Amino acid sequence: MLLINPKAADESIEEEITLDATNSVAREVIKNSLSGIERIVIKSDKEISKQIRKDINLLLDGLSNANIIEETKQRIVIQNLSFKKYRLNSLLKDYWT
C-alpha cells in the first residue's frame, strides 16, 4: 500500500535562499521561484558578470511573479510573489481594477 502525505499546513516553506553567481544560476532562480521561495539572493565574491545579469533580467521578464528589489556589484536580490501564498483570481482582479 502506498501512502502519500502532503506537508502539513503549519509547516513553513523556506522563505529565502542564497545562490552563488555561477553560469547556471538562472536555472536555480527558475526552480526556486516556481517552488515558492519568496526571496532569492544571488551573491558573488567578485563582481557579478554582465552575462549573468543579462540572463537573470531576461529570465525575470518571463516570470511575472518575480522582480529585482536590490542590485549591487556583488549581490542581486529577487522578490518572488509566491502563487502559493496569493490567490491568482485576486491578483488578476487587483491588476485589472
CA-to-CA distance for 2 and 19, rounded, in angstroms? 35
The pLDDT score that the predictor gives to residue 63 is 81
**39 with 80: CB under 8 angstroms?**
yes
Class of domain 16-96: alpha beta
* Residue ranges per structural domain of the chain: 16-96
Whether residue 65 is predicted with pLDDT greater than 90 in this model: the reply is no
pLDDT one-digit tens code per residue, 3-43: 565 555 444 445 899 999 999 999 999 888 888 889 999 99
**DSSP H helices in 6-72:** 25-34, 50-62
Model confidence pTM above 0.75: no
Residue 12 is placed in which grid cell?
513553513
Strand order in the sheet with 16-20: 16-20, 39-43, 75-80, 66-71
pLDDT exceeds 90 at position 93: no
